[in-house]
Amino acid sequence: MKNLNVLIFILFGLLTSCSQPDPSIRSISPDVLKDKIAGGWAGKILGVTYGAPTEFRALGRTYEDSIRWTPNDAIGALTQDDLYVQLTFLMTMDQFGIDAPAKKYQELFAKSGYMLWHANAQARKNYFDSIFPPRSGAPEFNFHANDIDFQIEADYIGFMSPGMPNSAVKLADKIGHIMNYGDGYYGGIFISALYAEAFFEKDIRKIVDKALNSLPAESDYAKILHDVLTLKEINPSDWRATWKFLEDKWGKTHICTAGEAFNIDAKFNGALILIGLLYGEGDPMKTMEITTRGGQDSDCNPSNAMAVLGVINGFSHLPEIMQKGITEMQDSQFIYTDYSFRKAVDKTYQYAVSHIVAEGGSITTDKINVKLQVPVPVPLEVSFPKMVLSEKVSIFDEKRWKLSGNWQTFQLRPEENNVKANQAKFASAKGSALEFDFEGTAISLEGNWKKDAGKAELYIDGKLHSSFDTYFYYNNQEQTPINICHALNLTPGKHTLKIVVTGEKKVESLDSRIYVSDALIFKEE
């Protein structure tokens, strides 16, 4: 009898355990999943058009002018790089599959036809210089590694990874390192993780806390976000006080525009997104306004923040006037793509479903079962360790430079009112050289990428450091000024930089000129 009782107890336990639902599985209906994806894309469109007139109008300050916007302005998103650049990556998936190699994603992006800037522009140039991922985004080959580019182009990754932040990371690792590294890469990780978590959670603070778990805690990106969370407790209703603290502490830590008020740094703009989400308290208009008034890249930031609300609420729960603005443009095509809003929603939904199944989920006629993932931090990457700007020296500061060969003055525009618009010096003859003595741990030379530019060699303390090519002419675009070469992680102390013109060039270049405008010298923090 005793044995029988034990057997009954065991069987009861087995039956009970079998009847308990798997806590790692969450179900969502196909309609709700698609509605949330539509909400994400709609939020992206609404936010970018809300902030577009203010972009980089407030540098190192908050934007306090009036903001005029109606949901009918959503049509303007058709010409926004926040949309058409990432749609290029979706088009790559359409042609070559989601598992296409990173080089293929870079290729279609590089040959896309639109203009690019900062980390994206360097990634394009790197492709044509045969520098491929992940090297194309690494700081040795991309002085814009910490810039915002991947952060504003990673939305689709999160949209197709509901409840699966680690799956989002797999794709982000491939695409994000095309143009970014370190904190620039983490920008895309954080944004895509926010969306992944927002499919099954409505509390913004909980979503943020979970998304933070995808970042290495030691990264500056994670540290600035934790600052925002702490400051929200200290200043629960005063977002400007929080903004001021961040500006004072983090506002001058960006590298590629060091010394300027213009801040394209991913982590700082990511903090502005978080300010908008926390202080916006789930209200779409309030969230967009606060994120926009934070300044800097103030069309991209409200775009990301509003997209988070779009995923949380779904398209059907956005304000009706916003739904109407999107519906009226939903079949219009984004420039440089074969995508409309409707197609973006449909294709993202298809990729999401296949992604869910590939990651252990299942599909029935009326239910999609997602195997939730506990976020795992990505490895730590530091693009520019302990680097702070020490000084910026113009090429026209004759006391600091030693020039040999035939260096001439380049004017960006004709002389006006007896004021010379001198922008750079250039030389094209083989053997022309310049030397510059400095004290620090890193140096960047700024100059021009142009259609008549050529190749040179960079020497540090008499040793060849690297060779570089400054030719760039794509879709009638050149870059003036821009980083043309740099040396990082030098021993603290005095150094000598030397540039030697090789006289060589690509076949398509009109000349072999090397343009130099400034030197940026960095020291250890």
User: pLDDT (tens digit, 9 = 90+) per residue, 397-452?
Assistant: 999 999 999 999 999 877 655 555 779 999 999 999 999 999 999 999 999 999 99
Confidence of residue 17 (pLDDT cuts 50, 70, 90): very low
CATH 1.20.1250.20 fits 30-61+70-371, yes or no: no
According to the model, what pLDDT value does residue 416 have?
58
Residue 368, SS3 per DSSP = strand
pLDDT (tens digit per residue) in 267-318: 999 999 999 999 999 999 999 999 999 999 999 999 999 999 999 999 999 9
**Which sequence spans correspond to the domains of the chain?**
30-61+70-371, 387-524
Contacts of 472 (CB under 8 A, 6+ apart): 125, 449, 450, 451, 453, 478, 479
Strand order in the sheet with 25-28: 25-28, 368-371, 362-363
Structure tokens that stand for 192 in this block: 């895509």
What is the DSSP secondary structure assignment for residue 255, as one 8-state letter? S
End-to-end CA distance of the chain: 77
According to the model, what pLDDT value does residue 420 have?
59
The pTM assigned to this predicted structure is 0.94
Strand partners, 497: 436, 460
Beta strand 25-28 with 362-363: parallel, antiparallel or unpaired?
A: unpaired
CA 522 to chain centroid: 23
Q: What is the secondary structure of 414-441 as a DSSP string?
A: --BTTB--EEEEEE-STT-EEEEEEESS
Average pLDDT, the chain: 95
Give the integer Cα–Cα distance in Å for 236 and 241. Answer: 10
What architecture does CATH give domain 387-524?
Sandwich (2.60)
